[in-house]
Structure 1
Amino acid sequence: MFDIGFSEMAIIAVVGLVVLGPERLPKVARQLGQWLGKLQRYVSDVKSDISRQMELEELRKLQGEMKDAASGIEDSFRSSVSEARSEFDSIASSVEGGSGQGASAEPATDWDRVYAARRARQKIADRRQERARALGQKRPKRP
């Protein structure tokens, strides 16, 4: 740390022996050793605190990136849902308009409602098949 050689330490020890005397030198050396130990522990604690703070900052940055990614995924999901909803609405409006009845007219009986629901389901299945053919996908037939 201070780059003190053996000869320099020997000179310091001789001066300390002359100044302090042989009775107080061991006590002072012990006290000096304790202070150096405390200083080393303090330096290591400061280093570990700095490294923890750096890791915490990195984790905060990562958390922010994850939140941004999650919000992007959520936005794309919401847009996909709104597109699908608009597609279903257009299918429903075409089914209602193509059934031969007015858009505001209610089916006369329960059977008319059942048949209208079946026609709507069949129209959706037909559109799925058309889309699969357009994309070149093969879909298994349902029994």
Structure 2
Amino acid sequence: MFGIGTGELMIIALVALIVLGPERLPKAARFAGLWVRRARAQWYSVKSELERELAAEELKRSVREAQRSIEDVGTQLRDAESRARSGLDDVRKGAEDLVADARRMPGDAPATHRDLPAPPVAPAPDEAPLPPEAIAGDPTRPPVVPPVTDEEVPRGAAR
């Protein structure tokens, strides 16, 4: 601890024995040991306090870094939200412009469901269906194909 070797300790003990004498040397050694123990205890106390403070400082630093990263993510989210809102506003404005243009030009407006012709209506059930010869002669009607039964399909053919 102090860089004192064994030989040096022997010289110190011999000088202490000569100076203090055999009667006072044990009491002086106990007193010196007491002070050494107190110094060590104080040293360990200071050391443990420093370690605790360093650990607390490290914890505080990591909390600050976490807060900074959370703030960065929050900033990125706010930026993304503002870009999304801006894009949505652009789309909304474009749609409003298209609607306004369509209202200004009623003759050129695209056909709506009201302007389209009505779909063809199937013949009423009380009307007699046309004979196959009449349907075959009409080029606007698709050809009528009779349904195929299971007996007419060859075995192994895909359906």
Give the TM-score taking structure 1 as reference length. 0.55
Amino acid at match of 2:3: D
Partner of 1:52: 52
Task: Note the C-alpha offset of 1:67.
Answer: 2.4
Q: Secondary structure at the match of 1:4?
A: coil
Q: CA deviation at 1:36?
A: 0.6
Equivalent position amino acid for 1:33 in 2? G
Report the Cα distance in structure 1 between the residues aligned to 2:68 and 2:18, rounded to whole angstroms.
Answer: 70
Matched residues in 2 for 1:46 and 1:12: separation?
29
| 1:85 to 2:89 alignment | no
- Offset at residue 32 of structure 1 (A): 0.7
AA matched with 1:12 = I
The 1-side partners of 2:20 and 2:82 are apart by 87
Letter paired with 1:38: R
Structure 1 unaligned regions, length at least 5? 103-143
Tell me, in whole angstroms, the C-alpha distance in 1 between the residues paired with 2:67 and 2:5: 55
Residue correspondences, number: 102
> In percent, how many aligned pairs have the same letter?
37
Deviation at residue 9 of structure 1 after TM alignment: 2.1
Q: Could you list the per-position Cα deviations for residues 84-135 of structure 1 after superposition, in whole angstroms to 9, with x for gaps in the alignment? A: 2223333334444545569xxxxxxxxxxxxxxxxxxxxxxxxxxxxxxxxx
Q: Which has the higher helix share?
A: 1
2:86 and 2:66 map into 1 onto residues whose CA distance is 30
1:30 aligned partner: 30
Deviation per CA, 1:53-103, whole angstroms, max 9, x where unpaired?
A: 33333333333332222222111100111122223333334444545569x
- Bigger relative contact order, structure 1 or 2, given CA contacts below 8 A and separation 6+? 1
Detail structure 1 runs of 4+ shifted over 6 Å in the superposition.
Answer: none
Whether 1:16 and 2:16 are equivalent positions in the alignment is yes
Unaligned runs of 5+ in 2: 105-159
Q: Which whole-Å CA distance do the structure 2 matches of 1:53 and 1:95 have between them?
A: 62
Give the alignment's TM-score, normalised by structure 2.
0.51
**In structure 1, distance between residues paired with 2:86 and 2:43:** 64
1:61 is paired with a residue whose SS is helix
Report the aligned-residue RMSD: 2.6
Structure 1 residues 68-77 or 8-17, which shifts more? 8-17
In 2: Cα distance, 1:75 partner to 1:10 partner: 71
